[in-house]
Amino acid sequence: MAFALSTLRLSSPAFEDGGAIPAKHTGEGDDLSPALVWQDAPKGTKGFALICHDPDAPLVQNGTYGFVHWVLYNIPASTGSLEEATRVGTRGKNDFGKLGYGGPMPPEGHGDHRYYFWVLAMDKPTDDLPEGLSLRDLLVKVEPHLLGMNRLVGTYRRG
Query: What is the residue-wise DSSP string for 39-98?
Result: E-PPTT--EEEEEEEETT-SS-BTTBSSEEEEEEEEEETT--EE-TT---SEE-B-TTSS
By three-state DSSP, how is residue 139 classified?
Answer: helix
Mean pLDDT of the chain: 92
141-144 long-range contacts, CB within 8 A, separation 24+ = 142/49, 142/73, 143/1, 143/2
Q: Which domains does the chain have, with CATH numbers?
A: 9-156 (3.90.280.10)
Residue 62 has pLDDT above 80, yes or no: no
Percent of the chain with pLDDT over 70: 92
Angstrom distance (rounded) from CA 100 to CA 103: 10
Give the model's confidence band at 127: pLDDT under 50 very low, under 70 low, under 90 confident, else very high.
confident
- What are the C-alpha distances in Å from 34 to residues 15, 59, 61, 74, 112? 9, 25, 24, 18, 19
Q: Can you give the pTM of this predicted structure?
A: 0.93
DSSP 141-152: HHGGGEEEEEEE
Q: Is 99 left (phi over 0), alpha (psi -120 to 50) or beta?
A: beta
Angstrom distance (rounded) from CA 138 to CA 156: 26
Instruction: Give pLDDT, residue 1.
Output: 42
**C-beta of residue 155 within 8 angstroms of C-beta of residue 131:** no
Q: Write out pLDDT tens, residues 72-111.
A: 999 999 999 999 999 999 999 999 999 999 999 988 888 8
Instruction: Give pLDDT, residue 107.
Output: 82
Instruction: Give pLDDT, residue 126.
Output: 86
Residue, of 141 and 106, whose pLDDT is higher = 141
